[in-house]
Chain A
Amino acid sequence: MKTTPLHPAHLALDAQMIEFAGWDMPARYGSAIQEHHAVRSHAGMFDVSHMGRLFLDGSDALSLADSVVTADVTAIPSGHARYCMACNESGGILDDLIVYRLSDQRIFIVCNASNREVIVNTIRDKAPEFPDADLFDRTEETAMIAVQGPTAVPIVQSLLPFNPESAPLFSITVHPASDTFIARTGYTGEDGVEIIVNADAAIPTWDRLADAGVAPCGLVARDSLRLEASLRLYGNDMNTTVNPFEAGLGRFVDLTAGPFTGKDALLNVKDQGPERRLAGFVMDARGIPRHGQAILHEGRVVGEVTSGGRAPTLNLDIGMGLLPVALARKDTKIDIDIRGRHVPATVTPTPFYRLPRPDS
């Protein structure tokens, strides 16, 4: 199994480790629910070094990225990022990713660990059309730490050269001297940053954050946090048989962008409207929905749970699932088949949890 540069830190903290996409990763350090609450109320940090970190360099870097992803990369201002997807010819999702435009000649892509090879190969397949663009996979020579929560930004500001005033959401700041990148992105529904450093700087950075009171958090808390924010998980909520409109991610598809793989198919889907759609639901009786369980409506199987779990912030059992469009509507009554028990649930708007705004 592969290990991240932070692996020794996890073992020193006596984390419960699990295999994730071929990596030996921390599931939890103690109570995953306490870790979840730490992120919602204060600040937590996650080793996300297993995620793919790819760089495209050269005068064709933007066009190459643009030919692969659903966002209009040429419209991203330098120093900013977009959440988007890479699709296959039929519009199925190959991966969801964040594309950062570092300059006119440099693109940085963060993809899922499980799809790194797919994305590298997809880019390589397109590369001959874009001769002045070189792909560098820097995943294994760097580390990435996500620092998330209401106090994450001020803590990072106190430790690193980072000024939140000039670094809005979805921006990225580069510090060439230390080869450090600080992106104001994340996967928890909270404000925060993702810090990319060289492998040898990983443990010192982690230790400084820990000394500043940031709680180490594992993949279990990461999953419950992203589910409350209804952020999709590749492999659960989407795969190559699901298109972005079905996944409820149509707003991250720019059909005015230059030709990209899957664009024609997606124009069609948009035109005709998807037949099914990812919907959120809340359980009306106790029962924890899990990936793969059947969803019933009036006794008939109509869909499948893609993600589900206990929501510690909301004190509810929640889930998401693919439903026929007519049923993917607020207040539709459904049942979840939990190992033979039909437990009632109601379709609800997402996200389940939204970051409280200072003005509300």
Chain B
Amino acid sequence: MNPDDLKYSKEHEWVKVESDDEALVGITHFAQEQLGDIVFVYFPDDLANLEQFKSFGEIESPKAVSELFAPISGEVLEINTELQDRPELVNEEPYGGGWMLRVRLSDASELDHLMTSDQYEALIAEEA
């Protein structure tokens, strides 16, 4: 269910390293299932840099607002603008079309602070 080639944070975000220093960021299948229908994804207008484990935006379901926490640090290269009109992509394809940011990693060693898919599955088994 959770792809092996991604790294996961305790706050249920994922990182997919695409080249030496570029990565995609999103939220996990477990997170979207817990949140329910995603009706709005908010990124601050001046979002330029991520800091690992710091908030970078908000995600809203009908009944709740949750903060998004950066799984890694880096410069924001691209925001998935399709989520503006189709936030449900986060539900439908959390590891595909529901990606949120493309980032230039500032410190690849931060990936060591994240979990493998096996470790992440153990974590959600505890939380579920």
The residues of A with any CB-CB pair to B shorter than 8 Å are 16, 27-28, 31-33, 220, 223-224, 286-288, 290, 309-310, 317, 339
Contact = CB atoms under 8 A, between A and B. Distances in A.
Interface in B19-65: 36-37, 39-40, 42, 58, 60, 62-63, 65
A31 B84 CA distance: 19
B62 A220 contact: yes
Contact of A32 (B36, B40, B84): B36
Given A28-B36, A32-B36, A286 B84 contact: yes
Given A32-B62, A286-B40, 15 more contacts: A28-B36, A31-B36, A31-B37, A32-B37, A33-B88, A220-B36, A286-B84, A287-B42, A288-B39, A288-B60, A309-B62, A310-B39, A310-B60, A310-B62, A317-B40
B111 to A, nearest CB: 31
Interface string B62-93: 11010000000000000000001000100100
Contacts of A31: 36-37, 91
B63 A310 contact: no
5 nearest CB pairs, A to B: A310-B39, A33-B37, A220-B62, A288-B60, A31-B37
A31 B39 CA distance: 12
B65 A16 contact: no
Contacts of B65: 288, 290, 339
30 contacts: A16-B36, A27-B36, A27-B63, A28-B36, A31-B36, A31-B37, A32-B37, A32-B62, A33-B37, A33-B62, A220-B62, A220-B63, A223-B63, A224-B62, A286-B40, A286-B42, A286-B84, A287-B40, A288-B39, A288-B40, A288-B65, A290-B65, A309-B39, A309-B62, A310-B39, A310-B40, A310-B60, A310-B62, A317-B40, A339-B58
Contacts of A16: 36
Interface residues of B, number: 13
Contacts of B88: 33
Interface of B: 36-37, 39-40, 42, 58, 60, 62-63, 65, 84, 88, 91
Contacts, number: 39
A288 B40 CA distance: 8
A287 B63 CA distance: 14
A287 B65 CA distance: 11
A73 B58 CA distance: 49
A33 B74 CA distance: 35
Nearest to A221: B62
Contacts of A310: 39-40, 60, 62
A273 B94 CA distance: 52
A134 to B, nearest CB: 40
Most chain A beta-carbon contacts within 10 A, residue among B60, B65, B88, B91: B60
Contacts of A287: 40, 42
A309 B37 CA distance: 12
A223 B40 contact: no
Nearest to A35: B37
B62 to A, nearest CB: 5
Nearest to B88: A33
A265 to B, nearest CB: 35
Contacts of B40: 286-288, 310, 317
B120 to A, nearest CB: 21
A287 B60 CA distance: 10
A287 B45 CA distance: 13
Contacts of A317: 40
Most chain A beta-carbon contacts within 10 A, residue among B58, B63, B88: B63
Contacts of B84: 286
A73 to B, nearest CB: 36
Contacts of A286: 40, 42, 84
Contacts of A32: 36-37, 62
Contacts of A290: 65
B41 to A, nearest CB: 9
B116 to A, nearest CB: 28
Contacts of B63: 27, 220, 223
A224 B61 CA distance: 12
Nearest to B84: A286
Contacts of B36: 16, 27-28, 31-32, 220
A16 B63 CA distance: 13
